[in-house]
Structure 1
């Protein structure tokens, strides 16, 4: 393998991206990482090359193109998957199809490390500190880290409903921003139907987003209270609801779920539990039980993962925590069921999984984001940010395509 380094494809500002700008010194450890990378590539059927692959090359299977092999292996040696992501952000590696590459690696997750070393896999990963817990102050900071980036940024790749969670498509067909918008409305309607939202319903939504669910609930005649920790999301949601003519039917509050009061006919929360953190799951489920009336229903939409994988990785500090969603943890269905059993008077009455739809949702988002590169630059985000966001969307899509993660709508009913 040649070590000729092509010109960099990103310029890294060390003030904005200190760990991306800095390549670790670990030359000796990089030798071991090079051997492990070759082993993993063989096991997963991935081709590693230092020659810029053509379209024909990509058709032969997943390709990992190393623009700077030395930097790539040093980062891998020191940071593992964090190093893999930072190396992509720095432009040290690429692929004609990052989703296909990451999907193949995810499908062979267990085999990527030689059997004698597998017991050490989670021991050697960076660990979360106590400061990673979502106290009220930390939760507001962590939500702001992602959701307060820029409303204009999210508008560039989300569909017209401004919905930032998995859609629910209606069978096979084209996957584009138009069909995505219809699929998002279908997802929202299914959840509202499941918890019985109609004229006169009092509804609490935990996690406002940009107001799409509250808008559709209000159009059904519901009285909606929706809470969020994102100031930017709240401001845009209030504007959108007013422009749609339902502003008087919806109360948008900047409020932590732990401080919510009252009793509602129904409570919904779409892909918010992932940001709660394991330490606060008891508080979250106790709040759901307290806030829904006896006989009322709670509708959750949650990304989920296998219980054993969740337990093995729950204390690990990952690239996703560092750059995208600090403080988060994807729960397993078993973990959710345990919290419901131990912390509430509710029972689970319905579950629907649709992980393939999330993969397609992410595919449309990633294409739209790539198409809006000039507009992203115009908002003041640099090339490293664009590669970070591209890796994030590709990484998530690969997880759903490989089946490592899923998404479910889960409906709970409180005892009368």
Structure 2
């Protein structure tokens, strides 16, 4: 199976294309000097200013193998070019350098890597989200299927045995690298259930089933669970796992949009699903949580977030992740979530627990496992070609670098309705 081919490059003229490529090369050289990365082009290293510490061996180093193609791509589609250029083999980390490590300096200087005079022009390179990717009732199903219905076996090739595709929560105070990933994933699930107050007799709604781990853990606590997903592959495996655990009678797995759920629940948990909702539908998403949550209940939303100013600067931009990985997705800020809840619901943010570095470690584990699956031939045997493999290599490394740098974060956000004070007599 191959990922979608990139859109053909269509500059208005060859002269314009060459001019854009030359400008893109100058900009990237300036960026590389600011972010402390060596670029090797035509056998010559550029980008690192004289007198700064470090040697060529310990600085991140990128080799541009096909500079004409890469700079033309960068000049034409700057928001897509870095990822597409890697996928098409136009650039790569230098031998002995890791992909996430060469992306990290760019993530660390995300706000000021581009020289000041050019930052104000960023909006000119923005492309709005294509209408076909809007998360309407039909569009959301199509967008979810494009990612989560790729193949359960493909996801199993790099996930831990719990089949949990979200950030783990490692034990604080111990080195992350030495901890077991499956235990950390179950710790995350249990933390979300604890924050939602899930126990014996709880009527729980889960928005976004995944492969059933949270529903299974909640049922083991004695909860009665309704869990909804738009992924047929995920629903089928979740039902199988629940049946094998003898818990099918406690969990109702539904192939259903969250907007179509009815009834009242004591608690709601939604793990890394809000990112797929799309900004246009955040009011509907949080209003649905509000409408489904019974009196005194709590909702826990685990969300990947970005700083509010970056969210405001990128919210209308169509980027590489949306084109190749999560169509229709937008990362919120915590502020955006708070404002959406205040304007459209009775829910308020009661608590936020963030653990972004835990996601960096989770992604590092996934990358190693995925690389092993690629090397061992399992991914190709499942029908995924080399181009797909390179897209996913870039996706996992790109996200790892983002969390390591703190450019993006993840947190469990607790929502409930403020308690009403006593009514005054008289």
With normalisation by structure 2, the TM-score equals: 0.90
Q: Which residue of 1 aligns with 2:27?
A: 36
Q: Which residue of 1 aligns with 2:245?
A: 244
Q: Which residue of 2 aligns with 1:173?
A: 175
**Whole-Å separation in 2 of the counterparts to 1:338 and 1:58:** 47
Question: Is 1:367 equivalent to 2:368 in the alignment?
Answer: yes
Q: Is the 8 A contact 2:21 2:68 kept in 1?
A: yes
Give the 3-state SS of the residue equivalent to 1:325 in structure 2.
coil
Cα-to-partner distance string for 1:166-205 (whole Å, 9 max, x where unaligned): 00001333537x7110000000101101111111111000
Tell me the CA shift for residue 131 of structure 1: 3.4
What are the within-5 Å matches in structure 2 for residues 16-415 of structure 1?
A: 17-19=4-6, 26-50=17-41, 51=43, 59-95=57-93, 96-171=97-172, 172-173=174-175, 175=177, 179-373=180-374, 374-415=377-418
**Residue-pair matches, total:** 400
Tell me the CA shift for residue 130 of structure 1: 3.5
Q: Which residue of 1 aligns with 2:49?
A: none
Give the 3-state SS of the residue equivalent to 1:407 in structure 2.
strand
**Whole-Å separation in 2 of the counterparts to 1:402 and 1:316:** 21
RMSD: 2.0
**Whole-Å separation in 2 of the counterparts to 1:256 and 1:415:** 28
Give the 3-state SS of the residue equivalent to 1:18 in structure 2.
coil
**Whole-Å separation in 2 of the counterparts to 1:351 and 1:174:** 21
Worse-matched range after superposition: 74-83 or 120-129: 120-129
Q: Is the 8 A contact 2:276 2:326 kept in 1?
A: yes
Q: Is the 8 A contact 1:23 1:75 kept in 2?
A: no
Q: Is the 8 A contact 2:107 2:402 kept in 1?
A: yes
Tell me the CA shift for residue 28 of structure 1: 2.4
Cα-to-partner distance string for 1:55-108 (whole Å, 9 max, x where unaligned): x98742111111111111111111113011111001111112111121101111
Structure 1 residues 153, 16: CA separation in 2 closer, same or farther (over 3 Å shift)?
A: closer
Tell me the CA shift for residue 339 of structure 1: 1.6
Tell me the CA shift for residue 207 of structure 1: 0.1
**Whole-Å separation in 1 of the counterparts to 2:156 and 2:130:** 34
Structure 1 residues 307, 355: CA separation in 2 closer, same or farther (over 3 Å shift)?
A: same
**Whole-Å separation in 2 of the counterparts to 1:76 and 1:414:** 48
Worse-matched range after superposition: 37-46 or 114-123: 114-123
Structure 1 residues 23, 158: CA separation in 2 closer, same or farther (over 3 Å shift)?
A: farther
Cα-to-partner distance string for 1:100-138 (whole Å, 9 max, x where unaligned): 121101111233322112111122222223333210000
Structure 1 residues 41, 207: CA separation in 2 closer, same or farther (over 3 Å shift)?
A: same
Tell me the CA shift for residue 415 of structure 1: 4.8
Structure 1 residues 52, 379: CA separation in 2 closer, same or farther (over 3 Å shift)?
A: farther
Q: Is the 8 A contact 1:20 1:90 kept in 2?
A: no
Q: Which residue of 2 aligns with 1:5?
A: none
**Whole-Å separation in 2 of the counterparts to 1:130 and 1:406:** 28
**Whole-Å separation in 2 of the counterparts to 1:261 and 1:99:** 43
Tell me the CA shift for residue 347 of structure 1: 2.6
**Whole-Å separation in 2 of the counterparts to 1:299 and 1:125:** 33
Q: Is the 8 A contact 2:133 2:143 kept in 1?
A: no
**Whole-Å separation in 1 of the counterparts to 2:219 and 2:55:** 52
Tell me the CA shift for residue 337 of structure 1: 0.6
**Whole-Å separation in 1 of the counterparts to 2:320 and 2:282:** 23
Q: Which residue of 2 aligns with 1:7?
A: none
Q: Is the 8 A contact 1:20 1:86 kept in 2?
A: no
Cα-to-partner distance string for 1:228-280 (whole Å, 9 max, x where unaligned): 00011101110011111111110000000110000001000000000011111
